[in-house]
Amino acid sequence: MNLRLIVSIAKSLLLARLKQTIVAAVGVTFSITMFVTLLGFMTGLNTMLDSLILNRTPHVRLFNDIKPLEVQPIDASGKFKGAYNFISSIKSGAGRKEIYNSGAIIQRINEDDRVLGLAPRINAPVFFNDGAIEITASINGIDVVEEMRLFHFNEYVTTGNPIDLKNVSNSIVLGKALAEKLLANIGDVVQLTTSQGERFPLKVVGYFESGLLDFDKTQAYASIGTVQKLLGKDKSYVTDLQVKLNDILLAPAVAKEYAILFQTDTEDIQTANSQFETGSRVRSIISYTVGITLLVVAGFGIYNILNMMIFEKMETIAILKATGFSGNDVKRIFMTIAMTIGVVGGLAGLLFGFLLSSLIDQIPFNTAALPTITTYPINYNIAYYIIGVTFALITTYFAGFFPARKAGKVDPVIIIRGK
């Protein structure tokens, strides 16, 4: 009906109680600000921590695990059917970590159009000889160019040029922590021993920092050819094939398919990093819980202030009703007041939330663990702003609903008689 009249009455009532109105709106503003900032910050951190893992983790990894046969010959033999096998301490067969026929597999995978790229690797245990002391570590033979393209290898090499691994023969990039242990500077030569007992000198061309100290203490990178030489293997020797897909969600299916197709072990990223997803989800749940709690508290603030306002305005309500405003009109007037508080408070909250987020975004955040990050990460996803304002409107609607209904039910006779 006459919406303009209702809005103008609501406005007059609001302005007559400006201070209370502002207090109520500030409650909403505060909670929306915190909601938006908290979610932006938390998911920013989540994305950062996830990408820490996701960027350098292959979507599907092909490898050969050394393990005993699942079906032992004795089980396959018909002779012992129905008998109980209690042979223990079974040894694995002469297992090889090598992926058989790697050339054909690489070619086949590269032809798969679900695949973004593939980087072969060799992983081998070595000892670094630091005077009399031997330090155990692991050397990774990598295809530098592909590792940089697919797994951001260059981002983790904080000192030195990663491409030197390819261009300088017999070169190595050490984990920063490992290099410190070995007192190895760039250009120095470190001595390492393979598990076969062969000793090699390699030239240090860089350090890398992965963000995980334990990892940096035990890892080193060299080109795939260098490691093949180290181990005395031929050009086709690789132990891991790291596949990056166009769509990460396909990883489990592709992993299963490749396991059958290539007769190797496979692992998909979802299985390998399930704990990270859990962590992200818990952080999101916490942020939402805190945000919604704040909103509910703000809702109670609105509820109280409206109730107080209605108590004060009983006479006004009675006169409005006596002069022809229906209970519904009165209800709408107070709903308009509530929603105005919600909308104004909510929009201000979005603005302040954005400003606060931008402020946090400026705060320097330097940690050895995350060389690519310089300030606190913030996710400016519009979805949080939409969720925030939607919740603000829903809370104010309910906070306004009950007082407004009460106002609509005020009996003018009781008020007029009571004077």
Residue of the chain from 71, 323, 362, 382 that contacts another protein (CB under 8 A):
323
Residue 326 beta carbon to another protein: minimum distance, rounded to whole angstroms = 4
CA 203 to CA 186: how far, in whole Å?
A: 8
Is 261 a binding residue for another protein by CB under 8 A? The answer is: no
CA 344 to CA 298: how far, in whole Å?
A: 13
Residue 316, Cα to own-chain centre: how many angstroms? 54
Q: Which of residues 83-142 bind another protein (CB under 8 A)?
A: none
Q: Which strand (E) or helix (H) includes residue 104?
A: helix 102-111
Residue 365 beta carbon to another protein: minimum distance, rounded to whole angstroms = 51
Q: Which of residues 327-366 bind another protein (CB under 8 A)?
A: 327-329
Token look-up 């990663």 returns 162
> In Å, what is the CA distance from 319 to each residue of 335, 388, 407?
19, 38, 12
- Phi and psi (nearest 5°) for 65? -85, 145
The nearer residue to another protein, 15 or 363, going by C-beta atoms, is 15
Stretch that binds another protein, among 132-140, 154-162, 172-180, 315-323 (CB under 8 A): 315-323
Residue 16 beta carbon to another protein: minimum distance, rounded to whole angstroms = 4
Is 319 a binding residue for another protein by CB under 8 A? The answer is: yes
Is 310 a binding residue for another protein by CB under 8 A? The answer is: no
Stretch that binds another protein, among 103-111, 206-214, 231-239, 310-318 (CB under 8 A): 310-318
Is 321 a binding residue for another protein by CB under 8 A? The answer is: yes
Stretch that binds another protein, among 5-13, 86-94, 191-199, 283-291 (CB under 8 A): 5-13
Residue of the chain from 104, 189, 355, 416 that contacts another protein (CB under 8 A):
416
Q: Can you name the residues that pair with 191 across neighbouring β-strands? A: 129, 201
Stretch that binds another protein, among 112-120, 132-140, 190-198, 322-330 (CB under 8 A): 322-330
CA 269 to CA 253: how far, in whole Å?
A: 11
Q: Check if the beta carbon of residue 199 is closer than 8 Å to that of residue 187.
A: no
The nearer residue to another protein, 105 or 317, going by C-beta atoms, is 317
Closest CA to 221 of 259, 254, 190: 190
> In Å, what is the CA distance from 225 to each residue of 58, 124, 140?
21, 13, 11
Q: Check if the beta carbon of residue 59 is closer than 8 Å to that of residue 248.
A: yes
CA 11 to CA 107: how far, in whole Å?
A: 73
Is 308 a binding residue for another protein by CB under 8 A? The answer is: no
Token look-up 């919740």 returns 391
Stretch that binds another protein, among 59-67, 221-229, 290-298, 325-333 (CB under 8 A): 325-333
Residue 311 beta carbon to another protein: minimum distance, rounded to whole angstroms = 15
Helix/strand/coil for 355: helix
Residue 12 beta carbon to another protein: minimum distance, rounded to whole angstroms = 4
For another protein, the binding residues (CB under 8 A) are 1-2, 5, 9, 12-13, 15-16, 315-316, 318-329, 412-413, 416-417, 419
